[in-house]
C-alpha cells in the first residue's frame, strides 16, 4: 500500500464517548442532588433504558432532538419521584456543555497518533458540530496531531455521504488510492469510505459480527501499527 493520508474518526474511535458521557451524567446527578431520590447505579440504569428508547423515537421521527435532550432527564428523575421539568431542562443543557470537555480517550490513542504522525498526514473526519468536536480534541490534547480537522458541520454533509469524502480528498490533495479510513462505525466510517474506493481499518472494539468485509479489522488501536 502506498498510503499518504490517514483519515480517522473521533467519537468512539479516539474519544471515549461512553466513559465521558457516564462521567458527565454522574457529575450532574450529584450536582442537582438527585441522590436524595435514588442511588446513582439505579439512576444510570433507568437513564440508559429511557435514553435508548428516546433515541429510537428520534430516529423514527417521532421525537424532536430538542425534546430528547431534556426529556431523558425528566423521565428518569420522574421514575424516582422527582417531577421537575425545569430542572430536567437545565440538566439537559448542562450535559451538552459539559460532556465535550471530558477527556477520556480510548486506550493507546496518543501512542497511535504519535506513531502515525511520523509517517503520514492525519486528518480527523468527524460527524458533529464544529465547536463541540474541536472542544473534545483540544481538551484531550490531541488536536496537534491532525494536519486538518473536518467536521460534518463545516463540510455540509455527514459521513457516510460520498460528498463528505469527496470534500476531504479534494481539500487534502489525496486520492482514494493513497488514503485509508480508520473508524468504529461500520456504516458511517467504513462502508462510506469503501464506497469511495478508500481503504478501511475497522475498529471493532466490541467484537461485533457483521456481513461487510473491511480491508482490515483491529480489536485495539495498537494493532494499527501492524498495518500502517
Ligand atoms: Mg465513531
- Full residue range of the structural domain in which residue 44 is found: 17-101
CATH number of the domain within which 159 lies: 3.40.50.1000
55 — pLDDT class (breaks 50, 70, 90): confident
CA distance 81 to 228: 54
Rounded to the nearest whole angstrom, what is the distance from the C-alpha of residue 78 to the centroid of ligand 1? Answer: 31
Rounded to the nearest angstrom, the distance between the alpha carbon of 186 and the centre of ligand 1 is 9
pTM of the model: 0.89
Averaged confidence pLDDT in the chain: 96
Q: What is the pLDDT of residue 1?
A: 82
> Residues 76, 5: contact at Cβ < 8 Å?
no
With beta carbons less than 8 A apart as the criterion, state whether 13 and 130 touch. no
Whether residue 59 is predicted with pLDDT greater than 90 in this model: the reply is no
11 CA → ligand 1 middle, Å: 4
Measured in angstroms, how far is the CA atom of residue 16 from the centroid of ligand 1? 9
Q: What is the pLDDT of residues 86-120, one digit of tens each?
A: 999 999 999 999 999 999 999 999 999 999 999 99
Same domain, 88 and 168: no
- Encode pLDDT of 192-226 as tens digits: 999 999 999 999 999 999 999 999 999 999 999 99
Q: Are residues 124 and 42 in the same domain?
A: no
For the beta sheet containing 5-8, the strands, ordered from the edge strand earlier in sequence to the opposite edge, are 148-151, 121-126, 5-8, 179-183, 199-203, 216-218
Q: Is 174 exposed, middle or buried (0-12, 13-18, 19+ CB in 10 A)?
A: buried
- Tell me how far apart the alpha carbons of residues 218 and 207 are, in angstroms, rounded to a whole number: 9
Q: Where is the domain boundary, 54, 70, 101?
A: 101
Distance 12 CA to ligand 1 centre (A): 5
What's the confidence (pLDDT) of residue 129? Answer: 85
Same domain for 173 and 137: yes
Which of 73, 101, 129 is at the close of a domain?
101
Query: Do 205 and 187 share a structural domain?
Result: yes
Q: Using pLDDT thresholds of 50, 70 and 90, give the confidence band for residue 58.
A: confident
Quick one: 9 and 21 in the same domain? no
* 132 and 211 fall within a common domain: yes
- Total domains in the chain come to 2
Amino acid at each position: 500500500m502506498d498510503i499518504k493520508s490517514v483519515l480517522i474518526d473521533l467519537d468512539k474511535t479516539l474519544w471515549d464517548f461512553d466513559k465521558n458521557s457516564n462521567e458527565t451524567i454522574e457529575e450532574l446527578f450529584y450536582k442537582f442532588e438527585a441522590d436524595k431520590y435514588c442511588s446513582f447505579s439505579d439512576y444510570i440504569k433507568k437513564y440508559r433504558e429511557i435514553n435508548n428508547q428516546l433515541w429510537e423515537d428520534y430516529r423514527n421521527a417521532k421525537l424532536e432532538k430538542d425534546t430528547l435532550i431534556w426529556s431523558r432527564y425528566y423521565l428518569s428523575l420522574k421514575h424516582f419521584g422527582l417531577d421537575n421539568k425545569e430542572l430536567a431542562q437545565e440538566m439537559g443543557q448542562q450535559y451538552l456543555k459539559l460532556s465535550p470537555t471530558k477527556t477520556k480517550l480510548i486506550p493507546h490513542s496518543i501512542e497511535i497518533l504519535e506513531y502515525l504522525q511520523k509517517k503520514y498526514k492525519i486528518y480527523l473526519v468527524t460527524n458533529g458540530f464544529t465547536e463541540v468536536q474541536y472542544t473534545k480534541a483540544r481538551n484531550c490534547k490531541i488536536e496537534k496531531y491532525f494536519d486538518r480537522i473536518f467536521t460534518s458541520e463545516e463540510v455540509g454533509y455527514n459521513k457516510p455521504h460520498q460528498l463528505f469524502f469527496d470534500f476531504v480528498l479534494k481539500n487534502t490533495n489525496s486520492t482514494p488510492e493513497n488514503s485509508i479510513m480508520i473508524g468504529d462505525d461500520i456504516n458511517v466510517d467504513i462502508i462510506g469510505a469503501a464506497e469511495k474506493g478508500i481503504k478501511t481499518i475497522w475498529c471493532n472494539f466490541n467484537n461485533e459480527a457483521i456481513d461487510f468485509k473491511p480491508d482490515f479489522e483491529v480489536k485495539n488501536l495498537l494493532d494499527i501499527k501492524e498495518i500502517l
